[in-house]
Structure 1
Amino acid sequence: MIIISFLTFSRSLEAKPFEAEFEENIKKLKNRNEHVVELWDNTRGLPQNAIYAMNFDHAGFLWMATEEGLARHDGLEIKVFDKGGYNRMLDQTYYSFFKGKSGIWASSDRSIALLDKTITKVIDCNHIADNSWIMTLSEDDNGYLWIGTQDGNVHLWKNDTFSLLPNWKPEQGTETQSLFHKGDGIMLIGTNNGLYEYNYQKNTHRLLTERNIVARKVQVEGGRIYIAVPEKGVYRVEEDMKLVELVSFEKIKDVGFHTITKDKYNNLWAGSTENGLIRIHSGGIERFYFDEIKNYTIRNIQYDGENLYLGTHGRGLVIVKPAKVQKINHQELREKNVKALFQDSNDNYWIGTKSEGVYKIENGAIKSFNTSNGLLLNWVNTIGEDKNNIYVGSTAGISIIDKKTEKIIGSITEKTGLKSNYVYVVFEDSKETLWILTRYGGLHYREKGGELKRVSLPDKFRNTNFNTIKELQNGELMIGSMNYGAFRIADHEFKENIDLPLKPGENVIYAIHQDSSGDLWFGTHGGIVLYKDGKFSRLTRENGLSSVSVFSITHDGKRGIWISNNFGVQYFPEKELEKFKTSESESFHAASVVYNKSHGMPNSETNGLIFPAAFKDNTGKIWIPTVEGVGIINPMNMELKDNSANFKWDELLLGGEKISIENEGLLIPAGTSSFQVSFSNIDFTNPSEFTLYQRIPSKNEQWIPIREQRSIIFSGLRPGNYELQVRVMRNGQLDGIHTLPMEVKAFFFEMIWFRLIVVSLACILAYFIVTYIAKVKVNNTLEKLVQERTLELSSTNDLLKEALTKIESQNYSLKEITWQQSHLVRAPLTKALGLTHLLINYPKYKEVGKSKDQVKKEILETLEQLDKIVRETHKRSESLVNNK
């Protein structure tokens, strides 16, 4: 398969002067010490190490096509787009790119994908590439896509429909290899059988070159047509099919014609088929060689004027960029384990090493001092000076080098007064007193023209190892030790021991710094310890340090401090340090920038337990010793711009679905328990300049640092409206805050109105419950009263029944009495009345049959009978009264 990339030639070849900065960057590409090579392969996120096509989209992402999918790079990490993660993709392997107004059109054999931050569209081309494949793409001024296939055809994709180019019938064996839209309805078609001009308004075409010309690349600049012809060269096409040679193939026989591309500065770049890179410009042809890819073919080239991007076959993506950290241009010091560094009063540099003595650099010339010319030992721990001499300290004592003669003229050892030959520090203070610090309580000083003396120390410090020193603003000295804290010395006398709040393994003071407020900062094996107003605060990895060990602290004189550690050099701006001094939060995180091997450091592991462990030279540059050479940082090169970050919201990962995030914000469906928001801060020059933080103000006002990851996972976020904020700090200063609105939807039972209804119903229910309970209580009370009353009434009823029975009995008796009165009394009474009437009227009745005496006697008997009845009735009445 022939891999197609696209050339943009230029009127360049007639050339104009380039900007000085651009040419300076070009020179850095040739100087090994002034550029760094960054490799991105399948061990760093690339799906596969052969890159077929490469270009930047409109958002600034770098896209690459590989056999195992598309890859998108933002400078910090690579994101893979393949069929496993993006099921809308029809193919796994894409071979060519074309960047148009719509984005990057990526073609596989039989499908096309449009790339712009993500995959925005996929086109199935199976029916137009039947028994063929896609070879080239182009986009016209209207945004319509033109597709050239291996069978020589050209297809138009317009309004989601394919159509063949009218009246275009290529002869057998013709391949469409390049397309270019000239404008005004004219399209150039490069084929293996010549270059054609096609008018798609009139549907006519004409041949512009001979048929034996293979027009691999086509470009129009200033109305002129340029073509690249394999194995012949680069030509300008004139009228009457004439070709004017611009670059002869004889000069670039090893050029890979499919790799030719043009940068924005009118340079042509191409990969060599043999080795390296070729630059073609008005000044001629230049070649660039990089050891990291000398055995690998370059397929794709992009150059932005600062960084060079190379897509290779087998080595993945290679980015060549100017180094942020410089190296010393002396072969003698390359890859050496460098110890103490020093600049003397004559501006000469002295470089101590672990095993090869000390080097002096003067006006670019270098000279070596080692055991062969009198140095006590080639292992150098410290370098110092006085007016006449340079002092080189080692584990065997101090070697003295005369500044004028550059000869080793003597030594200082245990024999001449040192407590130990293991010398950590040689230092001259502002009063021209020379201080020498050693093991075993060796705190020596020698005043100008005087003898070597020792500071008297308390007995418990007699075996202390002293390893660093700092002259304070008041002229006193602060001396660091191993395991016994710091010692304040004034007028050559011990004044105070400051015991740091560190564990025994951490309590090693490597460096001491005093800020403008007079507060002390100790670089230790347990982080940075701040000593302010008699109190300690500690800056550790949790607060932003990249390493637990801090070997040196160097102020750049303007913006902040630079510390060295096991992972490179870390910069903290003063503003962040001031925040730390006043912060009471244990989770405080200081924004910083880390410089390491990827920025040009010879090695990310710097050296400590030496003096000086770093220094700022007279030009403001900071020198750092590493295990493989010296790194030199220019703090003034740090860019401080507002809103310079290219921050992009990327994708929402929701239930396995990846959704591109647009500016209007996010809508999270109801019932979603977790989701993930990803973003990018695109920067290929120095991504480590940026420190990112995130927060949701309505939930937490505190900024939470974002480490290397570029995504935020949310779990259990309650329904509502939120704002996700990401704060971008560049070189420790605020660059901008980026806000993403988020709405988490709720089920109807999670809505406020539903909750209000539920609360209202609950209140009503509670009211009825309370009312019911109160009613039940009242009813219970009433029931109890009723029961009591009923019991009383029942008892009364029984009494009433008994009384009624008695009454009924009495009534019966009364009835009997009444009956007796009405029957028993009535009869004798009537008889007595009759007899009495008879007796009174006796003379009238002649036939009575009885005498008057008999009648009287019978009346008496009748009355006695009546009296008896009356007495018995009275007696019964008396009995009723007594039984009431």
Structure 2
Amino acid sequence: MSGHITPSYAKDNQLSDYFIETWTSANGLPHNSINAIAQTSDGYLWFATWEGVARYNGLEFVRFDRGPDTQMQDSGTRALATGPNNQLYAGGARGSLVMRQGFSWQGLPTAPSLINDALHDQTGGLWLAVEGKGIAYYAPEQLSQPDPTPQTFIDTVSSYHLTQTADGQVYAATEKGVYQLSLQHGATPLSFHNLFRKAFYVSSGQDGSLLVGSENGAWRYKNSRWTPLASELLHQAITMVEQDSRGAYWFGTLNNGIAHMRGQHVDFLDAHRGLSNNRILSWFEDNEGSIWIGTNGGAMRLRYAPFVTLTKDNGLAGDYVRTVLAGDKNTVWAGASEGLSQIDIVQGNAKILADDISVLSLAPRAQGGVWVGTYQQGLYYWEQGSLTPATTLNDQLPDHEVRAIVEREGTLWVGTPRGLIKFSSPPSNQPARASAVYQKRARYTSQNSALPGNYIMSLTFDDTGKLWIGTGSGAGYLHKQTIIPLDFSEQEQAQYVFGFFHEPGYVWMATDRGIIRYRQADGQLALVGRPHGLPIDKFFQIVKGDDQSFWLSSNRGIWRVNYYHAHQVADNTRTRIDFEHYDQSDGMRNSQANGGSNPAATKTAEGDIVFATAKGVTSVKPTRLAQLLSQPLPIVMQQVRFDGQAINPEASNTAPAGTNRVSFSYAALGYTMPEQIQYRTQLEGFESEWAYRHENHIAEYTNLPPGDYTFKVSARYPYSDWSDDVLSYRFSVTPSLWQRSDIRALGFLALVALAYGAFMWRIRRMQQKEAQLKALVKEKTQALQAQADDFERMSKEDALTGLANRRAFDEYWHLAFDDANQSGQPLQVAILDIDHFKRINDQHSHLVGDQIIQRIGRFLHNERQQLSHVARWGGEEFTLLFAGTPADGYTYFDGLRRRIAALTLDDIAPSLKVTVSIGVAGNHQATDYVDGLKQADQALYRAKRDGRNCVRQRSGQSSYADA
């Protein structure tokens, strides 16, 4: 997935309000021509292409094409339609028409030619727009008949698109205009008054009108009158016209991209602005309000992102913004390397106030306006529409690089790389000229005071009147003319203090070792950082949002942590802190949020959190983010496997006797931030509590005792409540003969009878048979021990390959991870997945699939001199441990991948070749062994998304593609 971000502030009236993402065949689509898009009632998104139908769950595409499973006559798919009971109708080349419901596909009557569009109407009937053959209609009862005869309309005309209005009327767009269709009255052409001849598209407007895309513009038809929708589009071929849930109109063109109209404003999105191709084939608005556009060059989504960004294109003086300051009402001051700007948050634009200075810092000015600190031009102030240098003060500065400013009660404090300067108000008899409001009174340095360092980076006053000073060598506060330095030796030797946040009783500091809390009551310092789960060290600014969260800026995006959890970690009543991470995929133009001067982030009166970044000013409205994250999260079961064999969970819920492994693949179908969806599962009958799965959407259980179980899945976005929509799947594990209770009872009775007989026999012949009895007891004991040993081996060994199973690997990996971390040795964990394994099963049989797994297992077993442990993880996945650095690990695993790709498998299936994808993570980048596996799993997903047959390493390590 690649994201192209357009600057925006949300007014819901322009294309620039949307965050743009694109997908192509390189991201998993079967083909780049997206002929139709639909969403079934379970929440899946579907894309029709010339190489089959692709199902999307927010993270990956799954393709369905011609074959016995789908019953498609041809993979080329042109039309999609949905029904109320989770049905999906797919039609296309050779008149192929199928219906999917749940996990099953059903073949439907074949149309006489290419199906251009399909419509499932309000009564359950199915309408088909057919190339060169007009319209075909199947009544609901006909869809289950073997060879029904449809009712046809205008059967010599090519029809392209269908729609049904709220009043039940059906219309068709054809090469001869628009027709109204009726089962009683046939096809009635609408009068166009020579406006156009060919109609490509027809849809319904919110006001009950008919919207038509034609070879000559877009038109509205209402009350028997035709009016153009947009004069700018006249004389253009309009391939699509729709009205979204917000009332805006969308127009697809033949070669000029997409057009959008809100009110009377029309703007365009084409290949120059991020559109993958200028020919628009399809359009769809999903359940979350995102707009999907299908082109000849892939699919595009336009959605409202959590973050919006304002750049030079929107009026900023420059994109490299170092400081932001909330002003009155809806304004924000922005200081960039190219000048000073003022932003209107509501209007979503900015105006340049000065473009000849490089701004480092900002602060409110007591007399009105703002103080402006610059890179090498000293101190300025903005007042009554003009920017003026503070010449008198600048003459007294030891350095004209001003990184922090604060003004309070007649005193101005200026932070520079050469110390802290204090300016006080002049005597009352001195004229208060704007340039001489203050006079120098004192300079604080590390040489003449206890200032931790001379390089001043941040300044603030807390609610008790203390002046807090952040430097490149620590922090301290000024109290009663004395600077009190803080000792950060127990806070992982923090040095750089980039920003402050103060509240009654506490002062928080953003540092190069996390965030540090100072408690006013006793002066105690407490760190919230890497030891508690934060993945990075350096944070620039702390802003508390109205959502009771701390928003933290960094070089690697924006982070959000729960405010109360942060206090609990600082109080040692909580050991770890959860977080959310936002970057370019969430609407930022650049993940680098600048810091080192003050303030680097601010909060407006309306609650917006605003950040200075290397590519403009980025803001987030926590209430809007909460709305995005409050969308329902429907959960679907993607696959159920018994001992690696996929089953239809709607048709089967019984695992056969002897089943060793049961695995579930599930997904919450939320498309706003799918990578951040978290899961928890519970297997009732085996687990008494929910198991937190993080972002992992696979759960596996081995050696389940016979019995009845219910597998449950719940999902949420971070910091949100767990969804009320809980997925449940009930199944049973059949007991083996020896596990059945009646057989066990009979066996027990037989054993009792045998024991009694033996006892009586022993009484009669104790003297003679004592030695024989002892031998028998010994033999029974050995047999029971052997059986116990067999059970223990079976519980840790994969039956198919003879390798260690997941349970054994988990135990080994846990110990190996801890040993490696204690010794400081690098250790790489990898998850290897056989590419397109389902295709091997489908094309060659599951027997061949098992042989492939066994061959790969033997191959990996022979690698034990290089690998410290090998296990079959489940299905077509193996886990490997390699002792070495990430670079050595990549070299080895990439070579391993190449050698597997070169394996000769003719003895299994002629000309069969297999490739593998490998995800790798290191112990030094993981917080614990579970996190290491999660990172390797995420790296494996990256390898799959990048086209498979490659090795990917987790972020923070190098990542390589197939050469």
TM-score bin (small chain) = 0.5 to 0.7
Of residues 86, 93, 96 in structure 1, which corresponds to 2:79? 96
Residue 744 of structure 1: how far off its partner (Å): 5.4
Q: Is 1:550 the counterpart of 2:539 in the alignment?
A: yes
**SS across alignment from 1:639:** helix
Matches within 5 A, 1:263-412: 263=244, 269-278=250-259, 286-289=266-269, 291-293=273-275, 296-303=278-285, 306-321=289-304, 324-327=307-310, 331-333=314-316, 336-343=319-326, 349-354=332-337, 356-359=338-341, 366-369=351-354, 378=358, 380=360, 385=365, 387=367, 391-393=371-373, 396=376, 398-401=378-381, 403=383, 406-410=387-391
CA gap of 1:778–1:432, structure 2 versus 1, over 3 A, is: farther
**SS across alignment from 2:254:** coil
After the TM superposition, which of the residue ranges 626-635 and 598-607 deviates more from structure 2? 598-607
Does the CA-based 8 Å contact 1:259-1:270 persist in structure 2?
yes
Larger radius of gyration: 1
Deviations 1:549-577 (A, max 9, x none): 22111112563221112333233343444
* Equivalent position amino acid for 1:427 in 2: V
* Equivalent position amino acid for 2:61 in 1: K
Q: Tell me which of the two structures has the higher relative contact order, counting C-alpha pairs closer than 8 angstroms and 6 or more residues apart.
A: 1
**SS across alignment from 2:292:** strand
Structure 2 counterpart of 1:605: 592
Residue 162 of structure 1: how far off its partner (Å): 2.3
Residue 107 of structure 1: how far off its partner (Å): 0.7
**SS across alignment from 2:767:** helix
Q: Is 1:159 the counterpart of 2:147 in the alignment?
A: no
Residue 468 of structure 1: how far off its partner (Å): 2.9
Q: Is 1:467 the counterpart of 2:457 in the alignment?
A: yes
CA gap of 1:761–1:250, structure 2 versus 1, over 3 A, is: same
Does the CA-based 8 Å contact 1:54-1:64 persist in structure 2?
yes
Structure 2 counterpart of 1:590: 578
Residue 745 of structure 1: how far off its partner (Å): 1.1
**SS across alignment from 1:51:** coil
CA gap of 1:501–1:723, structure 2 versus 1, over 3 A, is: farther
* Equivalent position amino acid for 1:646 in 2: L
Q: Is 1:426 the counterpart of 2:377 in the alignment?
A: no
Of residues 479, 482, 506 in structure 2, which corresponds to 1:490? 479
**SS across alignment from 2:304:** strand
In 2, the alpha carbon distance for the partners of 1:526 and 1:549 equals 6
Does the CA-based 8 Å contact 1:293-1:315 persist in structure 2?
no
CA gap of 1:25–1:494, structure 2 versus 1, over 3 A, is: closer
Structure 2 counterpart of 1:564: 553
In structure 1, stretches of 5+ residues that fail to align are 1-23, 784-884
**SS across alignment from 2:360:** coil
Q: Is 1:81 the counterpart of 2:63 in the alignment?
A: yes
CA gap of 1:751–1:467, structure 2 versus 1, over 3 A, is: farther
* Equivalent position amino acid for 1:340 in 2: T
In 1, the alpha carbon distance for the partners of 2:674 and 2:511 equals 28
In 1, the alpha carbon distance for the partners of 2:682 and 2:255 equals 52
Matches within 5 A, 1:755-794: 779=767
Deviations 1:494-526 (A, max 9, x none): 33523253545x64333333455x345433333
Does the CA-based 8 Å contact 2:445-2:451 persist in structure 1?
no
TM-score by length of 2: 0.63
Structure 1 counterpart of 2:40: 57
Does the CA-based 8 Å contact 1:268-1:279 persist in structure 2?
yes
Residue 311 of structure 1: how far off its partner (Å): 1.3
In structure 2, stretches of 5+ residues that fail to align are 1-7, 427-439, 772-963
In 1, the alpha carbon distance for the partners of 2:177 and 2:311 equals 53
In 2, the alpha carbon distance for the partners of 1:666 and 1:539 equals 47
Residue 630 of structure 1: how far off its partner (Å): 1.0
Structure 1 counterpart of 2:639: 652
Structure 1 counterpart of 2:496: 508
Q: Is 1:728 the counterpart of 2:716 in the alignment?
A: yes
Deviations 1:371-396 (A, max 9, x none): x6xx6xx3625657565895544564
**SS across alignment from 2:561:** strand
Q: Is 1:107 the counterpart of 2:94 in the alignment?
A: no
In 1, the alpha carbon distance for the partners of 2:585 and 2:764 equals 83
In 2, the alpha carbon distance for the partners of 1:492 and 1:774 equals 101
Of residues 719, 725, 735 in structure 2, which corresponds to 1:747? 735
CA gap of 1:326–1:459, structure 2 versus 1, over 3 A, is: closer
Does the CA-based 8 Å contact 1:51-1:312 persist in structure 2?
yes
In 1, the alpha carbon distance for the partners of 2:26 and 2:291 equals 21
In 2, the alpha carbon distance for the partners of 1:567 and 1:319 equals 24
Q: Is 1:706 the counterpart of 2:694 in the alignment?
A: yes
Does the CA-based 8 Å contact 2:314-2:350 persist in structure 1?
no
CA gap of 1:177–1:392, structure 2 versus 1, over 3 A, is: closer
In 1, the alpha carbon distance for the partners of 2:204 and 2:411 equals 74
Q: Is 1:453 the counterpart of 2:431 in the alignment?
A: no
CA gap of 1:180–1:558, structure 2 versus 1, over 3 A, is: closer
TM-score by length of 1: 0.68
Q: Is 1:522 the counterpart of 2:509 in the alignment?
A: yes
* Equivalent position amino acid for 2:541 in 1: S
* Equivalent position amino acid for 1:451 in 2: R
Q: Is 1:635 the counterpart of 2:618 in the alignment?
A: no
Of residues 97, 120, 123 in structure 2, which corresponds to 1:139? 120
In 2, the alpha carbon distance for the partners of 1:93 and 1:457 equals 78
In 2, the alpha carbon distance for the partners of 1:629 and 1:509 equals 23
In 1, the alpha carbon distance for the partners of 2:518 and 2:691 equals 26
**SS across alignment from 2:93:** coil
* Equivalent position amino acid for 1:508 in 2: Y
After the TM superposition, which of the residue ranges 447-456 and 553-562 deviates more from structure 2? 447-456
Matches within 5 A, 1:116-195: 120-123=104-107, 128-129=111-112, 132-147=113-128, 149-150=130-131, 152=133, 154=136, 156=138, 157-165=142-150, 173-175=156-158, 177=160, 192=175
**SS across alignment from 1:259:** strand
Residue 297 of structure 1: how far off its partner (Å): 1.5
In 2, the alpha carbon distance for the partners of 1:529 and 1:755 equals 65
* Equivalent position amino acid for 1:341 in 2: V
Count of paired positions: 728
CA gap of 1:207–1:521, structure 2 versus 1, over 3 A, is: closer
Structure 2 counterpart of 1:4: none
After the TM superposition, which of the residue ranges 144-153 and 310-319 deviates more from structure 2? 144-153
After the TM superposition, which of the residue ranges 55-64 and 216-225 deviates more from structure 2? 216-225
In 2, the alpha carbon distance for the partners of 1:401 and 1:667 equals 76
CA RMSD of superposed structures (Å): 5.1
Residue 607 of structure 1: how far off its partner (Å): 0.7
Does the CA-based 8 Å contact 1:553-1:562 persist in structure 2?
yes
Deviations 1:645-679 (A, max 9, x none): 232223124166555666x9965554444444333
**SS across alignment from 2:124:** coil
